């Protein structure tokens, strides 16, 4: 899918940062989770071995993905589930709609699933007269605001409790000016309980699917997935094909990594294993490709499919923490989103690989050892190769390269800059063309370069 629109992370980020207080608070909130993650990880002495093992299991699974998918399908079918294959988002949405229409289901409760966000399932179903209620509290908040999630684990992390109070006052009839989180959560609980009781189908995402058993695992902290599929008789589980694991015992590696990396919890409050439909119910599993097979064959970015969507790379990313999830203008934000986004649509997402200072923290924190920073750098090379880098930057680099290739030109340019710049009036240096100087002084230019002084001191003799 390629769009004609172009999005620029730096512009969106500047808008977010203009609200200095919110930026500080957003950064602190996410850093708090990063710190919790550190503490939880430090409590597991074999943490680094677990990461390596998880990475190896994922690489193995990806290498044998077609076989494991067929094994999963056979075992899930044996357990009474109906397995569907969706080539892309559109097909996924059609399959889900068809299942719902076949059952005459018009009121749906959905637990958190980034895949259905990626496929834009909600608007598709709504267009066909179906009500979809996101039942994760954070998801419900952004849904009521008409926004997508700004973080894959903490969808409403960018919203303050005062804003939630206002929203709930408007949508759920809570007291005006109420900001007490407990009171607001209780109100949401009552509102959602009503939706659960009247739901005709439940949709969930999937954290892990197991080939050898045909079962799958959904992790939540609110128990909303369990309620959503226990009350109605119809359960639709949507999963990206990269969510597969070969064996049930592999869960012992991934469940230890997932919630510790995501929120710093040893385990999520609910870790629900599903093996076939509930008695008297129906279970449909939709396996979605939507570009994943293409990524699997991509030598450069294959490892991005190891992702278990824990969000640790977002929590640790110093850019994400200060620019907010929406600045990425992509379903999945942050470092992993900046790799996956351009794989879906390089033109629209061409600025994302540059929304990164290459600090490398994401690589170190990733529980499945995706070389995120390295892949972001690789993407920059691809952006240039695809002629998607703005020509001004391309030209600047070309010019710099010519200067650096010729030592005499480099020496001369340096001399000129050091001679001119200190003599220039301030307004000629600090203006809108100088992004460096907007909030920073330029370095104090010395009269002589190191090599000029070195030559003076040591003579020109030992030219190497």
> Can residue 358 be called a binding residue for other proteins (CB under 8 A)?
yes
**Minimum CB distance to other proteins, residue 66 (Å):** 32
The span from the CA of 333 to the CA of 97, in Å, is 27
What angle in degrees, to the nearest 10, is found between the helix axes of 9-18 and 20-42? 100
31 near other proteins (CB under 8 A)? yes
Nearer CB in complex with other proteins: 28/98: 28
Q: How many residues bind other proteins (CB under 8 A)?
A: 78
> Helix (H, G, I), strand (E, B), or coil: what is residue 396?
helix
User: 217, 365, 370, 372: which one contacts other proteins (CB under 8 A)?
Assistant: 365
- Candidate list 299, 387, 405, 423; residue touching other proteins; CB under 8 A: 405
Q: Is 375 in the site for other proteins (CB under 8 A)?
A: no
438 binds other proteins (CB under 8 A): yes
CA pair distance 346, 343, nearest whole angstrom:
6
Per DSSP, 443 falls in state P
Judged by CB under 8 A, does residue 39 bind other proteins?
Answer: no
Q: Which of 7, 9, 54, 206 binds other proteins (CB under 8 A)?
A: 9
CB of 359 to other proteins, least distance (A): 4
Q: How far is the CB of 19 from other proteins (least distance, A)?
A: 11
Decide if residue 394 touches other proteins (CB under 8 A).
yes
Nearer of residues 72 and 379 to other proteins, judged by Cβ: 379
- Contact flag: residue 377 with other proteins (CB under 8 A): yes
Task: Tell me: does residue 52 bind other proteins (CB under 8 A).
Answer: no
Residue with token string 């007269």: 129
Q: Choose one: 98-106, 131-139, 174-182, 431-439; the region binding other proteins (CB under 8 A).
A: 431-439
Instruction: Give 56-64 contacts, CB < 8 A, sequence gap 24+.
Output: 57/245, 57/246, 57/250, 57/253, 57/254, 58/305, 58/306, 58/368, 59/303, 59/306, 60/246, 61/244, 61/245, 61/246, 62/242, 62/296, 62/302, 62/305, 62/306, 64/246
Choose, by CB under 8 A, the member of 1, 359, 424, 428 that binds other proteins: 359
Q: Which of residues 292-331 bind other proteins (CB under 8 A)?
A: 316, 318-319, 322-323
Q: What single DSSP character describes residue 143?
A: H
List the one residue from 114, 356, 370, 372 that touches other proteins (CB under 8 A): 356
Tell me the C-alpha to C-alpha distance, in Å, between residue 314 and each of 29, 30, 149, 152. Answer: 12, 8, 13, 9
- Residues of span 152-171 touching other proteins by CB under 8 A: none
> What is the C-alpha separation between 370 and 312, in angstroms, rounded?
12
Does 88 bind other proteins (CB under 8 A)? Our answer is: no
Rounded CA separation 74/114 (Å) = 25
Contact between 449 and other proteins per CB under 8 A: yes
Using rule CB under 8 A, residue 420 touches other proteins: no
The reply on whether position 17 binds other proteins by CB under 8 A is yes
Tell me: does residue 442 bind other proteins (CB under 8 A).
yes
> DSSP assignment, residue 277?
P
According to CB under 8 A, which one of 181, 190, 266, 381 is a site residue for other proteins?
381
Q: Mark the segment that binds other proteins (CB under 8 A) among 40-48, 166-174, 211-219, 223-231.
A: 40-48
- Residue 436 found at the interface with other proteins (CB under 8 A): yes
Q: Does 23 bind other proteins (CB under 8 A)?
A: yes
Identity of the residue, 51 or 92, whose beta carbon is nearer to other proteins in the bound complex: 51
Hey, CA dihedral for 171, 174, 180, 185, is it positive or negative?
negative
Beta strands 270-274 and 215-220: pairing type? Answer: antiparallel
Give the contact letters, 212-251, x = binds to other proteins (CB under 8 A), - = no.
Answer: ----------------------------------------
Q: What is the CB-side half-sphere exposure of residue 422 using CA atoms within 13 A?
A: 11
Which class for 372: exposed (0-12), middle (13-18), buried (19 or more C-beta within 10 A)?
buried
Task: For residue 219, count other CB atoms closer than 10 A to its CB.
Answer: 22
- Give 432's DSSP letter: T
CA distance 44 to 257: 10
């Amino acid at each position: 899918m390629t769009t004609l629109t172009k999005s620029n992370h730096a512009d969106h980020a500047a808008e977010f940062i203009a609200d200095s207080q919110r930026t500080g608070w957003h950064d602190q909130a996410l850093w708090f989770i990063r710190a919790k993650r550190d503490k939880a990880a430090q409590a597991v002495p074999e943490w680094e071995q677990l990461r390596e093992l998880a990475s190896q299991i994922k690489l193995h699974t990806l290498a044998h993905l077609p076989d494991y998918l067929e094994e999963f399908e056979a075992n899930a079918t044996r357990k009474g589930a109906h397995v569907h294959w969706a080539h892309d988002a559109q097909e996924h949405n059609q399959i889900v709609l068809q299942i719902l229409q076949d059952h005459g289901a018009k009121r749906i409760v959905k637990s958190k699933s980034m895949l259905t966000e990626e496929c834009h399932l909600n608007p598709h179903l709504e267009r066909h007269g179906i009500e979809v209620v996101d039942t994760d509290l954070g998801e419900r908040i952004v849904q009521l605001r008409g926004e997508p999630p700004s973080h894959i684990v903490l969808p409403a992390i960018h919203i303050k409790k005062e804003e939630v109070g206002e929203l709930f006052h408007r949508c759920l009839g809570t007291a005006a000016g109420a900001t007490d989180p407990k009171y607001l959560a209780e109100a949401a609980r009552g509102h959602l309980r009503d939706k659960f009781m009247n739901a005709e189908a439940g949709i969930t995402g999937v954290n892990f699917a197991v080939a050898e058993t045909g079962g799958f695992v959904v992790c939540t902290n609110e128990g909303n997935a369990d309620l959503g599929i226990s009350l109605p008789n119809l359960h639709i589980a949507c999963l990206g094909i990269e969510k597969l694991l070969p064996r049930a015992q592999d869960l012992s590696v991934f469940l230890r990594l997932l919630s510790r990396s995501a929120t710093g919890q040893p385990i999520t409050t609910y870790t629900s294993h599903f093996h076939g439909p509930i008695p008297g119910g129906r279970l449909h599993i939709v396996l979605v490709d939507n570009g994943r097979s293409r990524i699997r064959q991509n030598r450069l970015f294959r490892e991005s499919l190891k992702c278990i969507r824990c969000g640790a790379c977002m929590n640790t990313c110093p850019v994400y923490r200060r620019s907010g999830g929406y600045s990425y203008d992509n379903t999945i934000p942050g470092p992993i989103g900046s790799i996956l986004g351009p794989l879906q649509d390089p033109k629209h997402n061409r600025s994302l690989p540059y929304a990164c200072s290459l600090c490398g923290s994401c690589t170190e924190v990733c529980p499945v050892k995706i070389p995120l920073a390295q892949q972001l750098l690789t993407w920059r090379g691809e952006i240039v190769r695809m002629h998607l880098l703005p020509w001004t930057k391309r030209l600047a680099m070309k010019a710099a390269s010519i200067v650096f290739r010729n030592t005499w030109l480099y020496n001369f340019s340096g001399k000129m800059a050091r001679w001119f710049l200190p003599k220039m009036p301030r307004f000629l240096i600090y203006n809108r063309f100088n992004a460096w100087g907007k909030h920073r002084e330029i370095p104090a230019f010395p009269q002589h370069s190191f090599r000029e002084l070195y030559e003076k001191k040591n003579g020109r003799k030992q030219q190497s």
